[in-house]
Structure formats: structure tokens, C-alpha cells
Amino acid sequence: MGAYWSTLAATFLAVFVAELGDKTQLAALGLSSATRHPWAVFLGSAFALVASSALAVGLGRFLAARLDLRWLHYGGAALFLSIGLYMLIRGPAR
């Protein structure tokens, strides 16, 4: 498998698993159960995911062109670590 297809498969798997059971999927579930137009909900949520992914990819490319990639990795790691610690310290949402 080429680098392109490996990247595509890894990205699909990461985003698919990350999106399972999140608030966005629950919102789509609720919207589709409250309407007679499930395809409109599907297309709206699909376009929203495409738009937010395009924004993230564009921002990633913008930052990658201006910053050393090590600092992007460190920044991402620090952000995830700080969010995880905050959630651990805060405890379950009530």
C-alpha cells in the first residue's frame, strides 16, 4: 500500500473511531428521529464534518508552513495532556 493510501486509511480510521458516540453523532441521531427527512440530516451532518475537517487541514497546513513540526507535535501533546488533566481533576460532569 502506498503512502497516500496508508495516510487515507489511517485518517479514516482515526476520525471514524473518534466520532463514534460523540455529541455530533448523538445530535444527528436526535435530529433524524425528529424529522421525516433523514437524508437531509445525513447530508447536513456530512457537509458539516467535511467543512470542519477542511478547516482543520487548512489550519494544519498553515501552521506547518510557519512552525517547526516538533513544536506542533509538542503543542498538540501539551494541549491533550492539559485537557486530560483538567478532566481528571474536575471529575465526572454533573
36-82 pLDDT per residue, tens = 999 999 999 999 999 999 999 999 899 989 999 899 889 989 999 99
Total domains, the chain: 1
- Residue 45's alpha-carbon distances to 14, 68, 88, in angstroms, are 18, 34, 30
Instruction: Give the pLDDT of residue 23.
Output: 86
Record the pTM: 0.67
Say if CB 28 and CB 41 are below 8 A apart.
yes
Whole domain around residue 86: which residue ranges? Answer: 3-90
Q: What is the mean pLDDT of residues 17-33?
A: 88
What is the structure's pLDDT at 91? 83
Assess whether pLDDT exceeds 70 at residue 94: no
> How confident is the model at residue 72, as a pLDDT?
86
